[in-house]
Amino acid sequence: MENRKTIAFFPEGAFGPALNSVGIAQACKDLGHRCVFLTDPGFAEVYEGYGFECRIVNLSEPMSAEEMAKYWSTFIDGHIPNFNLTPHDQIDNYVKECWEAIVDTSKWAEKDLPGVLDDLKPDLICIDNVVLFPAAKQFGVPWIRIISCSENEITDPWIPPHLSGCGESDRDCFEAYNSRFNEVIKPIHDVFNDFIESCGESTYPLGEFFEASPYMNLLLYPQPLQYQRKNALDPARFQYLEGCVRSEEDYTIPDFGDKNGSPLIYLSFGSLGSGDTDLLKRMIEVLGQQDFRVLVNIGDYSDAYGEVPDNIRIASWYPQPSVIAQVDAVIHHGGNNSFNECLYFGKPALIMPYVWDGHDNATRVQETGHGLKMHRANWSDAEFVFAIQSLLTDEAMHARLASTSEHMRAADGRRKAARIIDQLLGS
């Protein structure tokens, strides 16, 4: 390809942004471009598994694999009680700790990122994160911000604050969340502003840790679920991808014997939520007594499980888009990939959020009639089963999902993103 360019993808070190960027990179690769992932060591294997080059940018103090596993185990165990709190009550613990860690990633990246960019010489940089990396902004090539979480990362007075889980018209909730968030986050924000100022950047207003790109910003939310904004986003700088679903290997549904005709349910709480094995075991016990077939993602915790009921299959990993395409309903935590994949394939979802934008996505899927929201742990067996049965039988919801799915498939978000990137590259 004569106009082959090098695109650097720099997503947050979490599976949601990482796999979203994989989907876009796959489409860019199909156009003939070279796609290289800038990544913390812990995620290099993920990108390499999809056939992409990697360059290491340490986002925290380097650890051995054993130390990293222990760190995450301690982190999850320490926060499981906080997963049951409201979004407002999580500000003082989970949200605070996350922003402290996120600021540290920016500071750590500045040690490696300038040299990595100088060596790679990308023609364009795609950043899927919630924090500024000064070296990426200052490198001298166009950079794109990807918003793979809820679209309220790009703020507006008429839409709920990011991470708040507020309903679209609940202004009292907006005010209460913003007030407490700014109060708790201010010391962390002050440290961040001192850091970026030392890098030659202007400081941000309280509560902001990143900015919209002057070149292009790509949001995932599909049109049927978008919020009504007071300040419309300029399409010259903001484009909605209408979802973005990566290409994944095929998946064959296992044999369930005499249950083969029963509704098929997929249950996944992501890499973080799978650490709450007691909750997943409780769900498996309830689901094992129903006339369902169930696929359960248990993450890296297979040692915590013994035998499961005959209608349950557990695995440490699934090629999720290929699975969701074949099931009748999904139970998940509201992460951006699960959220968009369910909508893309027109599958009703029971979202049981525990942190971050899962709260926003759960509220949004319910208030737009595309699924249901339920507390992750405060439910009776009967309430849990009733919610699933409702997903399976709500014809109005199914029709709405079918329409949204058709809309998203026609938009083909990852290829739309690739075309936009290609245009910015002048190919």
3-state DSSP assignment of residue 12: coil
33's CB contacts (< 8 A; 6+ apart) are 1, 4, 5, 6, 7, 421, 422, 425, 427
3-state DSSP assignment of residue 71: helix
- CATH for 257-409, among 3.90.1150.10, 3.30.870.10, 3.40.50.2000, 3.65.10.10? 3.40.50.2000
Burial of 426 (0-12, 13-18, 19+ CB in 10 A): exposed
Q: Find out if CATH 3.40.50.2000 is the number for domain 6-246+411-425.
A: yes
421's CB contacts (< 8 A; 6+ apart) are 7, 24, 28, 33, 124, 126, 144
Ordered by start, the domain boundaries in the chain are: 6-246+411-425, 257-409
**Alpha-carbon span 269 to 280, nearest angstrom:** 9
Can you give the pLDDT of all 427 residues of the chain as single tens digits? 567 999 999 999 888 889 999 999 999 999 999 999 999 988 899 999 999 999 999 998 887 767 766 776 677 778 889 999 999 999 999 999 999 999 999 999 999 999 999 999 999 999 999 999 999 999 999 999 999 889 999 999 999 999 999 999 999 999 999 999 999 999 999 999 999 999 999 999 999 999 999 999 999 989 999 999 999 999 999 999 988 888 889 999 999 999 999 999 999 998 888 989 999 999 999 999 999 999 999 998 999 999 999 999 999 999 999 999 999 999 999 998 899 999 999 999 999 999 999 999 999 999 999 999 999 999 999 999 999 999 999 999 999 999 999 999 999 999 999 999 999 998 6
pTM: 0.93
Is there a common fold for 6-246+411-425 and 257-409? yes
